[in-house]
Amino acid sequence: MTDDLGVLIVDDDFRVAALHATIVDAVRGFRVIARAGSIAAARSAVGDHPGIDLALLDVYLPDGSGIDLVAELPCDAFIVGAETDASAVRRAMRAGALAYLIKPFDDTELARRLAGYAQYRRVLAADNVDQHAVDSALSALRFGTRGSDRPDAGSHTEQRILELFTSSDGPLFADQVSEAVGVSAATARRHLAHLVSSGRLRMSLQYGTTGRPRQEYRLPG
């Protein structure tokens, strides 16, 4: 069993779906449960996987619009698509989408919004809330979270990682950070994900000739 938030990725471009999956898996507290390339496949995935908490929906799908799918899903949804028509944004919001991200966007932006969604879920997990809690939850959705929102934001390991990037001439991969800081690869990835979601590092994907893309990290700016 896991307390991670389950994510469904709906995009008919397998490369984009893989990119989004890599970002989701890099953020603490999230895991990809299923991918789908059409509305029909998304409906099947929801039926087959009751643990889906959030769907990332493209707009243009082979059998319709992802926006039309939002209202019928039994989970929360972000629209993640290339549609820039203002009426599409309004329609997505009316349907119940919690966020609208226009492609292309920086990898870190999705990580930041996911961290904000996790905070939204935490704040609204109580039986009753006051206005401050509502405002805090909605603000987290819109703007993501900052390092001060996390109790371990100033951890010694994360400070060492940031110092490593400050002294580095360029971007680094997780295995390089792991070796330089002296922590396991899993621990390095967890702290790197924290730093990305709080905006203190940026992440991008580097594609090789074969295999999965590698996550490359660098300081913002």
CATH number of the domain to which 205 belongs: 1.10.10.10
28 located within any domain: yes
Please report whether residue 157 resides in a domain. Answer: yes
Asked if 35 and 13 count as a contact pair (C-beta separation under 8 A), the reply is: no
The single residue listed with the structure tokens 């074969």 is 210
Q: Mean of the per-residue pLDDT values for the chain?
A: 87
Residue 106: strand, helix, or coil: coil
What is the residue range of 24's domain?
5-106
Same domain, 75 and 158: no
**Who's near 50: CB < 8 A, 6+ residues apart?**
none
16 and 100 assigned to the same domain: yes
Tally the domains of the chain.
2
- Contact of 52 with 75, CB cutoff 8 Å: yes
Supply the pLDDT for residue 66: 96
Contact status, residue 195 vs residue 1, Cβ threshold 8 Å: no
Decide which of 197 and 9 is more confident. Answer: 9
Can you list the positions of beta strands (E) in the chain? 5-10, 30-36, 52-57, 60-61, 64-65, 76-81, 99-102, 172-173, 202-206, 214-218
Query: In this predicted structure, what is the pLDDT of residue 140?
Result: 87
Q: Answer with the one of 72, 91, 106 that is the final residue of a domain.
A: 106
Q: Which two tokens stand for residue 14?
A: 């397998």
Q: What is the pLDDT of residues 41-84, one digit of tens each?
A: 999 999 999 899 999 999 999 999 999 999 999 999 999 998 99
* Three-class SS state of 130: coil
| Residues 18 and 101 both lie in one domain | yes
Of 86, 106, 126, the one marking the end of a domain is 106
79 and 163 part of one domain: no
Say which CATH number the domain at 92 has. 3.40.50.2300
- 115 belongs to a structural domain: no
120 domain residue, yes or no: no
Angle at 142 between CA 137 and CA 147, to 5 degrees: 75
pLDDT of residue 146: 46
- Look at 220 and 77; give whichever has higher pLDDT: 77
Chain segment 15-26, per-residue pLDDT in tens: 889 889 988 887
